[in-house]
Structure 1
Amino acid sequence: MPNDKKMEKREALMIVNPVSGTRSKRGLEELVVSRLAMSGVTVRTLYTEGSGDASRFAEQAVAHDYDMVISAGGDGTVNEIAGVLSHTSTKLGILPLGSGNGFARSLGIPQDVEEALKVIAEGYSLRCDRGVVNGLPFYCTFGVGFDAAVSEKFSKMKRRGRITYVKSVFREFLNYQPEPYALSIGGSVLTEKAFLIAVCNAPQYGNNAYIAPHAKLSDGMLDITVVHSGSPLSTVLVGVDLLTGYIDRNTLIDTFRVSAATITRLGCGPVHIDGEPMTLGTNLEISCDPSSLSVYAPEKEAEFKPIVSPLRAMIDDFRYDVKAKFR
């Protein structure tokens, strides 16, 4: 992956989303300040109270020439901050404190806060692409169909976390009806009744659900996964392959690697951008904006291996959860 030089400036703004995920953020500010001080980084902290706050705070950081902005939240918080930092010299650091943390996981950033802080302190950064749909940026995934419907339901739940998300998936699966779409790529058009269409800058949604296992964050391309309409059993098996990393081998799946594409549907409706639900129109114009964001990440990129990589990630998650309970 292309990379930047190690950080020279040592000023950081940490933006904390206090309601993201399920992990407590008690003592977070003190921990971050003390750990990064050892690397010569001074940290100022701001807390969001609603949508748009993270973007506004990030704009302040860019205006005041901060070296980095640290996102302490989930993919929605990352999206707001990254949207401001893209095409600037201010770098993004991530403390994965959301429900899925798809972008952080795809970068190889540990889910444990102290280990994630080590990544920031080491100062290695790389340039990542982003996707754009109808002018709106996404850094992990964009989707229509079933996953958009689940995101909409999940956003209305009072509780967050993996268990709540799984409940949303099962409830929506029982009633969901696939819809027709036209996917246009380089002059060719695929018309299909699809369960979902996912446009991926990163390989996974989050929670180690690999919707595009071989997607790369810095290849200048987007990976599109089309899950066609099938029987309830065959669709459930797609879900199994999603967790093992073998989804691209499933017979219900078509995959494409593109720099641009258009999705057309019958009318406006729900979509999700990095897991956040919203409503967009009939025509969805998608493109890749290459090397647009500088983000701190582990210097060594781990090779993805089906079954092995998801299993290793699950073990790490269990270890971090146990550590958090006894901290």
Structure 2
Amino acid sequence: MRTKQQLTDDIRSERRAALVVNARSRRGRQFYDDAHARLQAAGFKLLGSYGVEGDLERSLQRAIDLGPDLLVAGGGDGTISTAGRMLAHRDMALGLLPLGTTNNFARTIGIPPDLDTAITTMTDGLVIDVDLGIAGDMPFTNHVGVGLSAEVMINAPSRLKRAIGRFAYPITALGLLRRHRPLRATVHAEGREIVFTTHQVYVANGGFHAGRPITADAHADDRLLVAYPVGGATRRELLRETARNALTGHRRTLHERPFLAVGELWLETDRPAAVEVDGEPCGRTPLRIALDANALRIMAPPGTEDH
């Protein structure tokens, strides 16, 4: 395994890369050819290039088997999470092309949803290590959602997401909320038991959710998971807290209620509740969620601190 500096130097000098873009994502199909051309113009030798509309994991494995120093993955948080899971503990860096709806993990790393900035990060950035979360047996990059958000991910129409982007999620949520019953959730962590009644629970590894900061001090390499309910038992509380999170997350800290920052937790609910992991359905509660520290190498913007 090379050091991070050695891998950074090899990426900058050798430019050996592979490209995998989820062409089913809203922007993936539109920008695949552009990303391919820009990487080549930047001097990268693309050992393989895949615009995927079928089996994403199969294409990612093909790209990994080519042995690039940098695997560039384009798509939304689900695509990035899949690539991150497959690159865990490998001597290979993940490059991010944020082509999805909310691009939470890319925002956490400091890469805005802009192709020019993403390509510049590949050419001028540096390799850092970040943590992966583990939900049950499923590694993830950004977050776990329990309750309403999982129902939204299962039910949000693909056509609506392609048409209006991330606004498809709140529209779907409003439709589901009329018949959604609150959960009695219990979190066991560090010898404590915390109980709350809510429609929605999140456990975040990254610093963003729905394209907005969770808190000002949440990162992907701080060795912490951040668990928090969104509102209480009533629908009004859920809507109020969702709006508050979106508007004030950049001013809040992990030390404030209702955030619980820990390295591992056990989450159970009064009835089996749907779970989504980085936007993909992933079973039901109860669930153990933990961290795999420094599990993934990421190409980050110049000057990024590696905690």
User: TM class, shorter-chain normalised?
Assistant: 0.7 to 0.9
Output one character per residue of 1:111-133: Cα deviation in whole Å (capped at 9) or x when no partner: 11122111111131211101001
Matched AA of 2:159: K
Deviation at 1:301, TM superposition (A): 4.7
Q: State whether structure 2 residue 151 is matched by structure 1 residue 152.
A: no
Relative to structure 1, is the Cα distance of residues 255 and 14 closer, same or farther in structure 2, using a 3 angstrom cutoff?
same
Determine which of 241, 245, 253 is the counterpart of 1:242.
Answer: 245
Q: Which residue of structure 1 lines up, in the alignment, with residue 23 of structure 2?
A: 18
SS at match of 2:43: coil
Larger mean CA deviation between 291-300 and 36-45 belongs to 36-45
Determine which of 216, 219, 228 is the counterpart of 1:216.
Answer: 219
Deviation at 1:147, TM superposition (A): 1.7
Matched AA of 1:135: D
Deviation at 1:149, TM superposition (A): 1.9
Q: What is the CA–CA distance in structure 1 between the aligned matches of 2:125 and 2:238, rounded to whole Å?
A: 42
Q: What is the CA–CA distance in structure 2 between the aligned matches of 1:186 and 1:238, rounded to whole Å?
A: 26
Contact 1:99 1:162 in 2 (8 A): yes
Matched AA of 1:159: L
Matched AA of 2:4: D
| Alignment gaps of 5+ in structure 1 | 303-327
Q: Which residue of structure 2 lines up, in the alignment, with residue 69 of structure 1?
A: 71
Relative to structure 1, is the Cα distance of residues 149 and 167 closer, same or farther in structure 2, using a 3 angstrom cutoff?
same
- What is the TM-score normalised by the length of structure 1? 0.81
Larger mean CA deviation between 84-93 and 143-152 belongs to 143-152
Q: What is the CA–CA distance in structure 1 between the aligned matches of 2:189 and 2:60, rounded to whole Å?
A: 35
- What's the C-alpha RMSD, in Å, of the aligned pairs? 2.4
| 1:36-75 matched pairs, under 5 angstroms | 36-43=39-46, 44-50=48-54, 53-75=55-77
Contact 2:29 2:51 in 1 (8 A): no
SS at match of 1:180: strand
Deviation at 1:15, TM superposition (A): 0.8
Larger mean CA deviation between 5-14 and 257-266 belongs to 5-14
Q: Which residue of structure 1 lines up, in the alignment, with residue 206 of structure 2?
A: 202
Q: Which residue of structure 1 lines up, in the alignment, with residue 4 of structure 2?
A: 4
Q: What is the CA–CA distance in structure 2 between the aligned matches of 1:132 and 1:167, rounded to whole Å?
A: 29
Contact 1:212 1:224 in 2 (8 A): no
Q: What is the CA–CA distance in structure 2 between the aligned matches of 1:118 and 1:300, rounded to whole Å?
A: 13
Superposed structure 1 runs of 4+ greater than 6 Å apart: none
| Alignment gaps of 5+ in structure 2 | none
Q: What is the CA–CA distance in structure 1 between the aligned matches of 2:136 and 2:24, rounded to whole Å?
A: 28
| 1:249-264 matched pairs, under 5 angstroms | 253-264=257-268
Q: What is the CA–CA distance in structure 2 between the aligned matches of 1:135 and 1:33, rounded to whole Å?
A: 33
Q: Which residue of structure 2 lines up, in the alignment, with residue 170 of structure 1?
A: 174
Determine which of 277, 280, 286 is the counterpart of 1:273.
Answer: 277
Matched AA of 2:99: L
- What is the TM-score normalised by the length of structure 2? 0.86
Matched AA of 2:105: F
Q: State whether structure 2 residue 241 is matched by structure 1 residue 227.
A: no
Relative to structure 1, is the Cα distance of residues 232 and 248 closer, same or farther in structure 2, using a 3 angstrom cutoff?
farther
Matched AA of 1:4: K
Relative to structure 1, is the Cα distance of residues 129 and 163 closer, same or farther in structure 2, using a 3 angstrom cutoff?
same
The total of aligned residue pairs comes to 291
Percent of aligned pairs with the same residue?
Answer: 25
Relative to structure 1, is the Cα distance of residues 152 and 64 closer, same or farther in structure 2, using a 3 angstrom cutoff?
same
